């Protein structure tokens, strides 16, 4: 049980964190894109990623690999782009998914477990600045979408992030790579967790 929980808790934390990284984007000042300015209804956030947690106990390597796929539900709130600032108002959503996880406890044959992950994020407000890079990229210095810090927990303040944006009619679609690595210590056991994948945020522009 100790082995499993030493991987289980960091795995949930690493899975939930919303940390985006776009290697090609530099936070350099450029003129804002006029088409982006306006007020948007938050439609959804999707994540498609793989999280790996690994620890060493008594010289034995223990590892958990989880496929994380979800799209938020019960989405509410608005985001406003004013050319420099992005302001989130009464943003809330829920996550209800099952993580397909393989546990390796010093054995090449994994133990497969379904891990439920649920979170209801209460309405929150946020603000931050953004920069338009070229014609299709954005860099946020925080204050964008906040991810659930744990199952049923409060949202984590979003870090600086960058990615691509496009429009489909009135729908603003923001896509980004996910790259996040954390190290935690539970009951004296150090675990390193990494999450890599992609995320997509959709917003509908108001008239």
Report whether 158 contacts 124 (CB < 8 A): no
Tens digit of each residue's pLDDT (9 = 90 or more) over 70-110: 899 999 999 999 988 999 999 999 989 888 888 887 777 88
Residue range 152-166: mean pLDDT, rounded: 66
- Cα dihedral: 27, 29, 35, 39 (round 10): 70
> Does pTM surpass 0.85?
no
- Domain extent listing, the chain: 2-205
Spatial separation of the C-alpha atoms in residues 145 and 93, rounded to whole Å: 11
Max Cα distance, the chain (Å): 62
Tens digit of each residue's pLDDT (9 = 90 or more) over 120-153: 888 888 888 888 888 888 888 765 776 665 444 4
Helix (H, G, I), strand (E, B) or coil at 6: helix
For 17, phi and psi rounded to 5 degrees?
A: -65, 135
Spatial separation of the C-alpha atoms in residues 33 and 133, rounded to whole Å: 9
pLDDT for res 146: 65
Half-sphere exposure of residue 133: CA atoms within 13 angstroms, side-chain side? 17
């Amino acid at each position: 049980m100790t082995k499993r929980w030493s991987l289980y808790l960091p795995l949930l934390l690493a899975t939930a964190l919303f940390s985006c990284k776009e290697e090609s984007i530099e936070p350099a000042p450029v003129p804002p894109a006029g088409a982006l300015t306006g007020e948007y209804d938050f439609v959804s956030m999707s994540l498609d990623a793989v999280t790996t947690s690994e620890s060493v106990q008594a010289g034995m390597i223990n590892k958990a690999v989880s496929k994380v796929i979800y799209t938020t539900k019960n989405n509410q709130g608005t985001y406003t782009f004013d050319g420099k600032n992005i302001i989130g108002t009464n943003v809330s959503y829920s996550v209800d998914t099952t993580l397909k996880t393989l546990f390796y406890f010093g054995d090449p044959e994994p133990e497969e477990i379904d891990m439920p992950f649920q979170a209801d994020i209460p309405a929150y407000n946020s603000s931050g600045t953004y920069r338009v890079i070229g014609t299709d990229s954005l860099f946020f210095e925080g204050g964008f979408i906040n991810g659930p810090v744990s199952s049923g927990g409060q949202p984590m303040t979003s870090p600086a992030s960058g990615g691509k944006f496009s429009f489909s009619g009135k729908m603003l679609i923001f896509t980004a790579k996910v790259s996040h690595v954390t190290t935690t210590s539970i009951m004296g056991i150090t675990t390193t967790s990494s999450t890599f994948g992609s995320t997509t945020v959709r917003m509908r522009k108001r008239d």
